[in-house]
């Protein structure tokens, strides 16, 4: 099953898709350092593929006409800045809004499945119309905007076509979901929108994978069975006062939570040595970077919870997402290796660039394990319909 990824970045989504069994035809990325990271890891990204194509290009100037149409999966996360809470919120007025380019690729390649990832801010009330516009364009990619038409006029035309109900030609059945990565075994509270479009002629039944982990599961093992602290061989601390009512409700249950517990920062980095300022030759990218500070609202990620969302920034990131906070209140920055683990990159994965550049790559990445779980769910569904036609 061949796949293509656009806006590949450091390769989180691409690696997860490859691990799910898809074979990338090529990865497209504009940033030079990100492309260097992809090339360092091409043997993991292009499993069982002789031709390893990492294309450094602006998608706006890239022609998809040279690509054969037999693509099972087209994936990508267009730049999130037009919709991010930390951005200017300019949506379709932002020149970095590259959803139109992704939809151009869909029209040209007509893949069986389209997988899109973006920030939670895409679902904000102020973007409601534009989000509907994205969904309807993906549903009917052949109904393109006219040269004398505004996007809102195009939206009205798409709505009319959609409600008419007489659909001809290429179209997709589209579903979307806001997923919290922590609910799928990723040690990070990372909420992202995933959009899946399935080509209508496949008659494919599909739904997002069910969550496997929960906060209740973590609280149960921390404050009721105390297994969490025993596992890490540390004394059980006093339960935070604000959690006591919830713990009492959990204790009243006859059975433990059905889901596994959320994974924490401590779970993720417990076997790494404390980083030093000089390079650690045995553990690449595990070097201490000084300068982490606490100030109001900028407190870092507690060790015994999933991390806050790793973000594409370093100094002054709201909430201190790229720092860890110890029980005594002290903080330090995550090393590159620690941040990569929180994004579920394997330890053999290498990164190219300065500390700031790499954290930017990591903050923009999709957690590898979450990408793999969604892609595996898609791949199994495709396999099932293929076996029916054998």
Q: Which tens digits make up the pLDDT trace of 41-87?
A: 999 999 766 567 999 999 999 999 878 778 999 999 998 554 544 44
Residue 294's pLDDT band (boundaries 50, 70, 90)?
A: confident
- Helices 368-389 and 12-19 meet at what angle, rounded to 10? 40
Residue 365 has pLDDT above 50, yes or no: yes
Tens digit of each residue's pLDDT (9 = 90 or more) over 156-196 = 999 999 999 888 888 999 999 999 999 999 999 999 999 99
Q: What is the mean pLDDT of the chain?
A: 89
* Contact (CB, 8 A) for 195 and 99: no
pLDDT tens digits, one per residue of 202-243: 999 999 999 999 999 999 999 999 999 999 999 999 999 999
Residues 6+ positions from 124 with CB-CB distance below 8 Å? 83, 89
Question: Mapping DSSP to helix (H, G, I), strand (E, B) and coil, where does residue 329 land?
Answer: coil
**What pLDDT sits at residue 124?**
86
Q: What pLDDT is stored for residue 73 in this prediction?
A: 97
pLDDT-derived band at 88, boundaries 50, 70, 90:
very low
Which percentage of the chain shows pLDDT scores above 90?
70
Higher pLDDT, 385 or 110: 110
3-state helix, strand, coil in the chain (%, to 5): 40, 15, 45
Would you say residue 91 has pLDDT above 60?
A: no
- Strands annotated E in the chain: 2-6, 23-29, 54-56, 73-76, 113-119, 172-180, 191-199, 213-214, 260-261, 301-302, 323-325, 331-333
Confidence (pLDDT) at 311: 85
- Rounded Cα distance between 337 and 238, Å, is 31
> What is the token pair recorded at 264?
């924490």
DSSP type of residue 128: H
Backbone angles phi, psi at 270, to 5 degrees: -60, -25
Strands 2-6 and 73-76: parallel
Query: What does the pLDDT read at residue 75?
Result: 97
**How does residue 388 score in pLDDT terms, banded at 50, 70 and 90?**
low
Among the ranges given (198-202, 326-330, 334-338), the one the predictor scored with the smallest mean pLDDT: 326-330
In 41-112, which ranges are E strands? 54-56, 73-76
- Overall residue count recorded for the chain in this entry: 390
Strands 172-180 and 331-333: unpaired
Two structure tokens written together for 293: 């500070």
**Catalytic residue set:** 80
Which helix or strand (DSSP H or E) is residue 358 part of?
Answer: helix 355-364
**Distance, CA of 124 to CA of 19 (rounded, Å):** 32
Residue identified by tokens 């919709």 is 83
User: What single string gives the DSSP state of each residue in 11-24?
Assistant: SHHHHHHHHTT-EE
Tell me, what's the pLDDT at 74?
97
* Residues 98, 59 contacting (CB under 8 angstroms): yes
- pLDDT tens for each residue of 111-155: 999 999 998 988 988 888 889 999 999 999 999 999 999 889 999
Quote the pLDDT of residue 193: 96
């Amino acid at each position: 099953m061949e796949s293509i990824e656009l806006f590949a970045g450091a390769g989180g989504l691409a690696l997860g898709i490859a691990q799910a069994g898809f074979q990338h035809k090529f990865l497209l990325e504009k940033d030079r350092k990100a492309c260097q990271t992809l090339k360092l890891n091409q043997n993991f990204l292009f499993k069982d593929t002789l031709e390893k194509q990492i294309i450094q290009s602006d998608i706006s100037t890239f022609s998809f006409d040279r690509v054969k149409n037999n693509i099972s999966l087209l994936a990508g996360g267009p730049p999130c800045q037009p919709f991010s809470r930390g951005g200017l919120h300019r949506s379709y007025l932002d020149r970095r809004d590259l959803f139109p380019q992704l939809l151009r690729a869909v029209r040209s390649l007509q893949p069986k499945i389209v997988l899109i990832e973006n920030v939670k801010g895409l679902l904000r009330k102020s973007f409601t119309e534009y989000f509907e516009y994205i969904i309807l364009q993906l549903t009917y990619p052949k109904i393109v905007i006219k040269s004398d038409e505004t996007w809102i006029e195009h939206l009205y035309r798409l709505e009319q076509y959609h409600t008419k109900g007489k659909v001809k030609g290429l179209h997709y059945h589209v579903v979307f979901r806001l997923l919290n990565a922590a609910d799928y075994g990723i040690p990070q509270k990372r909420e992202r929108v995933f959009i899946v479009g399935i080509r209508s002629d496949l008659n494919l039944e599909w739904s997002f994978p069910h969550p496997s982990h929960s906060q209740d599961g973590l609280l149960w093992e921390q404050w009721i069975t105390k297994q969490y602290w025993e596992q890490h061989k540390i004394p059980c601390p006093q339960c935070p006062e604000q959690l006591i009512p919830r713990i009492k409700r959990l204790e009243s249950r006859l059975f433990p939570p059905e889901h596994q517990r959320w994974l924490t920062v401590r779970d993720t980095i417990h076997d790494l040595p404390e980083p030093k300022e000089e390079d650690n030759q045995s553990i690449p990218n595990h070097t201490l970077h000084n300068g982490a500070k606490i100030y109001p609202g900028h407190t870092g990620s507690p060790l015994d919870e999933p991390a806050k969302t790793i973000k594409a920034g370093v100094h002054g990131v709201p909430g201190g997402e790229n720092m860890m906070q110890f029980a005594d209140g002290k903080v330090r920055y995550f090393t590159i290796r620690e941040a990569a683990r929180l994004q579920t990159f394997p330890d053999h994965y290498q990164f190219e660039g300065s500390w700031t550049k790499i954290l930017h790559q990591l903050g923009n990445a999709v957690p590898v394990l979450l990408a793999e779980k969604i892609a595996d769910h898609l791949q199994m569904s495709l396999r099932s319909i293929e076996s029916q036609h054998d």
